[in-house]
Structure 1
């Protein structure tokens, strides 16, 4: 079983070792991969899987992912069939960008429990993030089918028939949101909106879904609807950075540059905000406006903002190409704080 190999790194923790020799290292396939100092600094050994799960959840909420990861693995050792713990291990690794470790965890759950809805959902989101859209659709659709069965809507309901789907407070919000994102990628905006509406029935105040729906409206050219959706999401949670990023992108595209700067400044410094607005103007072909923002970024941080210099050089190159009247336009250098979707 994969879990045996994955837990090798945890065994050293639980054995109470106080030192490690040069040949005693965590296995390269260990699913732990946390801060090794934590291995000797666990404040409290738990004696039951329920206690370990509670401590793991508390550590996760506090932002201590190493402690959370350790406690979830500890819960799994105490109860090897505690699949929820292994799903959380995978989720933490997914959030940290450790895609291979995350997939190992989800696959191990699905090997023992092929219809584990949480593992299907998380692996589907992992495939979506990795741009494996075909696999993402398959996994998320299976998760929807299981959710519909749970609600008594039968096994044959097609997740693509969005109007026939039902949700409740226990439905996996991120699954329906993920299927909405996949529909946006196909430019099927009617279907994506239907999925987002279902997700909002699960949690009407979800900033994740408000951000996704707003970006869907943006892609569809419904900029006024996008603006209202972003503003509503910000009202719900002004600390959610992707909302500010996409809101700034929208405002810059609407040529409301001062408001766009203000939006980007919510998630970065003034130099970064100026560069981001300039980047959008550059992509739009508005070279004079882009140059103003890049120069502003350089003036605010001349020693540390190399990307603005690179983008300013690209403006000058494109201007020369236009003057010569030959050659295609080049692509801008992607800024460190590039506006990104969803």
Structure 2
């Protein structure tokens, strides 16, 4: 067996559930797949080449079988240690599962050998953005932009780019341009964020990710009619995208269109949760009577399960007591805004 780097050994250990690795990692890994998963055993017999392992890993990923996809990407790296595409996918799977440290190890392992690997730079930058390391994220994403522009024959360097001079095509990394739009929103530079989102839409005009980000940007900028139109357009592209429904529900609640907000939140959760979400937004807005109504509705729908509504109802009573004692307003938290998914 070819040598595997330290990060891969750690990932294999997590996958197999073992504390130590024996001389035959495949035997330990196989224990994860006990049962009737006949496809796994076919793969173990067939995946004798890195290309075959990559092919079946991609099929498993598309089918939602992340365990098998991870196993096969690891197999591809075992067979070809320079198959960095497999290592990037290993990092992606760990990121999706919330294994941030393992994801970082995978991307870092790629970058140690290929410092200009566009996919690894992009994934590491988006990971930093998710961890709220905005400066680190921006530096990495700018590097990706420079590499993408070089591919398109547009040399710009790795500093802050002139967005108006950027070019994109269908192969450009959409999530990177979208991520830079999110960073601009976090700096309240809405004109810059809109420019990045429009570049992302040139890459994929029907991307629901970009529609959600752009709608959220309009919301933050106080341009609510534009936000509503953008969310509705995104729903038309993909009505199953949950982050968009949550942000759309937030917007509708802020616009005091409560029944529509409830319907939006119900697309991603139960009626009790939807009532609690609308009630919380009313609480933050200082609309205590409306907030109490929605919290009580949530409790009636799920008195045992939905304890959160009881806590929020108590907060309403606390705010009222503060007001009666002469407080001008209650020290409520900021509205729970759902940041666009990356």
Q: Taking structure 2 as the reference length, what is the TM-score of the superposition?
A: 0.89
Matched, 1:64 2:59: no
The alpha carbon displacement at 1:244 in A equals 0.3
Aligned to 2:235: 234
Which secondary structure state, in structure 2, belongs to the residue aligned with residue 322 of structure 1? Answer: helix
1:278 matched to 2:276? The reply is no
Which residue does the alignment assign to 2:33?
38
Distance 1:194 1:12 in 2: 44
Q: Is the 8 A contact 1:35 1:66 kept in 2?
A: no
The question of whether the paired residues in 2 share the 8 Å contact of 1:83 and 1:109 is answered with yes
Q: What residue is the counterpart of 1:304 in the other structure?
A: 305
**Contact 1:311/1:332 (<8 A) preserved:** no
Partner Cα separation in structure 2 for residue 127 and residue 9 of structure 1:
21
Q: Which runs of 5+ in 1 are unaligned?
A: none
Q: How does 1:159-174 map to 2 (within 5 A)?
A: 159-174=160-175
Partner Cα separation in structure 2 for residue 227 and residue 320 of structure 1: 36
Asked if 1:340 corresponds to 2:338, the answer is: yes
- CA deviation string 1:273-331 (max 9, x = no partner): 00000011111111111110000000000011010000000000011001101386233
Q: Which residue of 2 aligns with 1:137?
A: 138
SS at match of 1:170: coil
Structure 1 residues 74 and 284: CA distance shift in structure 2, 3 A: same
Paired with 2:157 and 2:299, the residues of 1 have a C-alpha distance of 59
Q: Please report how far the alpha carbon of residue 54 of structure 1 lies from its aligned counterpart in structure 2 after TM superposition.
A: 1.0
Q: Distance in 2 between matches of 1:238 and 1:35?
A: 38
286 and 70 in structure 1: CA distance in 2 versus 1, 3 angstrom threshold:
same
- Name structure 2 gaps, 5 residues minimum: none
CA shift for structure 1 position 25:
3.5
Cα pair distance change 1:120/1:36, threshold 3 Å:
farther
Q: CA deviation at 1:339?
A: 5.1
- Distance change (3 Å), C-alpha of 1:339 and 1:303: farther
Q: In 1, are the aligned partners of 2:11 and 2:102 still within 8 Å (CA)? A: no
SS of the residue 1:268 aligns to: coil
Cα drift, residue 159 of structure 1: 4.5
Equivalent in the alignment of 2:246: 245
Deviations 1:16-70 (A, max 9, x none): x9xx9xx86359xx9xx99952389632221111111111111111111111111
Please give the alpha-carbon distance, in whole angstroms, between the structure 1 residues aligned to 2:253 and 2:91. Answer: 37
Aligned twin of 1:323? 324
SS in 2 for 1:7: helix
Aligned to 1:117: 118
- Equivalent residue of 2:5, what SS? helix
What pairs with 1:249-264 in structure 2 (closer than 5 Å)?
Answer: 249-264=250-265
Structure 1 Cα separation of the partners of residues 117 and 57 of structure 2: 21
Q: CA deviation at 1:96?
A: 1.3
RMSD over aligned Cα, in angstroms? Answer: 2.6
Aligned residues: 327
